[in-house]
Amino acid sequence: MFTNFFYKIHTMDQSQPDNDTPLQAIITLQRTYRIGLRKELHQTIFGCTPSEVKKLPKTNSRIKAIIFDIARHHLIVSEKIYHWTTWDNLKSIIQHNAFLGNHLLKNYGISFEPNALGNADIKNGDGNVICFCPYLVEPTILVSPYELNCDRKIRKNLIRLTIDLTKIDCFGKYNQFFKLFDFCAPNFKYTLIISDHLSFSFKKNPCPESHVIVSINFKQNFFHYTIDKKNAISYGNLFSFNVFCLNKFFDIINKDFPFKNELNDYLDKLTDAELRKVLISFGQGLTIFSEYNFNASLTLTDHLITEIYCANSEKSFLLEDLTTEQYRDTFKQLREKGEIQPDVPSLKKCYLTVAPTGNIIRGCLYGFDINYTYYERDLLNPEQDLRSLSAENFANNQYIETRTRMDSIQSLTQGNKMKNTV
């Protein structure tokens, strides 16, 4: 009874809710109920109360001001996140006016093409979660399943939705949460060179232990710090998630290690722009395989989806500048006819390639190489050298994507045009 009732709520047009009706109160009650369920689930799985970052790290006033500024302008985790899915799934999302978690899809009897939800994800509490990514995504989503005598290819009808977090309708702190890394992501090691003296590496170990080892290399002196699953997840909002990432930097440098004082002296002598470069690059490197998740459902509000990238046709439809009427007409056309109107602006883009190389299928996403074998997928050890990228590019509060290949970053910074793009 309740399942069918809540299903009707989701399929109603909530773009212009009437506050004089009980609809909004019912939705609030539903979300409040799910908050309690999510909190209990987290406690059961991780053995601790869900955490929300509310304070800046203990450090001097200059660094605190920089941290607050970075977090306030969302320069680690930006307002733009991504959801990889298919055209058919998007039509279903539009039809039901919401992204829905796996449990709700089953309860409502909604047909939906599976992405990458596995038993390990369910054990980690993601059985009824909608997963989005600030950058890299679980690679199995991107390719077709193996078939007899058939090479693996880009998944049929694969699309990437760009989501604007300023347009979300999400009530309650336990209904959105952030993971520093996808617990079931492939093993990887990402090395980040900041300067001649300082570099970091981020290495994920396999499931079920699934933790990330952060290594500092300061003048060829090394210190390693492990972040396990229960310390890699935070509840709150976009600002608190940015603070959460930055707090990890200070969790590490406040530990006892032989060159601690020398490293702190080095950081104290950096200009504000140089320190911002260190903090932003570290935060983005730490979150290269992160997840931004919503519990159970996310309403499809106006202008929530700002871009639709089609992997097979290498075409992106740009929705950000459409009027509300044009936006709604575009989604109505998609739902009814399965196509986008020809007058919607579009660009030719290529973020993903997949090709066979001998006995291995090689994928490339945003310049990161992925090897696919029959049972495994591995991210090849990438290295990003930011020494040639001037710290002055980090002096203002425009987002810059440091994980992109250097030639792309440099083109973004020319003319002070730094955008959230890959």
pLDDT at 12 over 60: no
In the chain, the percentage of residues whose pLDDT exceeds 90 is 60
Amino acid 26: pLDDT = 61
**Opening angle at CA 50, ends 292 and 140, nearest 5:** 35
Which residues constitute the domain of residue 137? 1-349
The chain-wide mean pLDDT, for the chain, equals: 86
pLDDT at 414 over 50: no
- Helix 23-46 with 2-11: angle, nearest 10 deg: 120
Strand order of the β-sheet with 158-164 is: 80-86, 158-164, 305-310, 315-318, 346-348
Q: pLDDT confidence of 125, banded at 50, 70, 90?
A: confident
pLDDT at 21 over 60: no
Structure tokens at 344: 């919607």
Amino acid 56: pLDDT = 79
Least reliable range by pLDDT among 147-161, 302-316, 351-365 = 147-161
Amino acid 29: pLDDT = 72
Distance between CA 310 and CA 85 in Å, rounded? 10
Mean local confidence (pLDDT), 48-53: 81
pLDDT at 284 over 50: yes
pLDDT at 134 over 60: yes
Q: Does residue 378 sit within a domain? A: no
Kindly report the number of other CB atoms within 10 A of residue 278's CB atom. 22
Report the candidate in 305, 293, 296 with the shortest Cα–Cα distance to residue 100: 296
Q: Does residue 72 sit within a domain? A: yes
Q: Does residue 366 sit within a domain? A: no
pLDDT at 91 over 90: yes
Amino acid 1: pLDDT = 41
Amino acid 313: pLDDT = 95
pLDDT at 230 over 80: yes
Amino acid 416: pLDDT = 36
**Cα end-to-end span (Å), the chain:** 45
Q: Does residue 231 sit within a domain? A: yes
Amino acid 111: pLDDT = 87
Q: Does residue 213 sit within a domain? A: yes
Q: Where are the beta strands (DSSP E) in 168-278?
A: 176-179, 188-193, 198-204, 212-218, 221-227, 233-235
Q: Does residue 416 sit within a domain? A: no
Amino acid 147: pLDDT = 55
Q: What is the pLDDT of residues 187-219, one digit of tens each?
A: 899 999 999 999 999 999 876 678 999 999 999
Amino acid 320: pLDDT = 96
Amino acid 149: pLDDT = 47
Mean local confidence (pLDDT), 99-126: 86
Q: Are 368 and 422 in contact (CB under 8 A)?
A: no
Mean local confidence (pLDDT), 280-307: 96
pLDDT at 150 over 60: no
Q: pLDDT confidence of 151, banded at 50, 70, 90?
A: low
Distance between CA 397 and CA 389 in Å, rounded? 16
Q: What is the pLDDT of residues 321-367, one digit of tens each?
A: 999 999 999 999 999 988 898 999 999 999 999 887 767 788 899 98
Mean local confidence (pLDDT), 369-398: 88
Nearby residues of 374 by Cβ (< 8 Å), 6 or more positions away: 146
Q: What is the pLDDT of residues 235-265, one digit of tens each?
A: 999 999 999 999 999 999 999 999 999 999 9
Structure tokens at 25: 């109160």
Q: pLDDT confidence of 407, banded at 50, 70, 90?
A: low
Q: Does residue 198 sit within a domain? A: yes
Model confidence pTM above 0.85: yes
pLDDT at 116 over 90: no
- DSSP secondary structure code for residue 230 in this structure: G
How many structural domains are present in the chain?
1
Q: Which residue has the higher pLDDT, 9 or 41?
A: 41
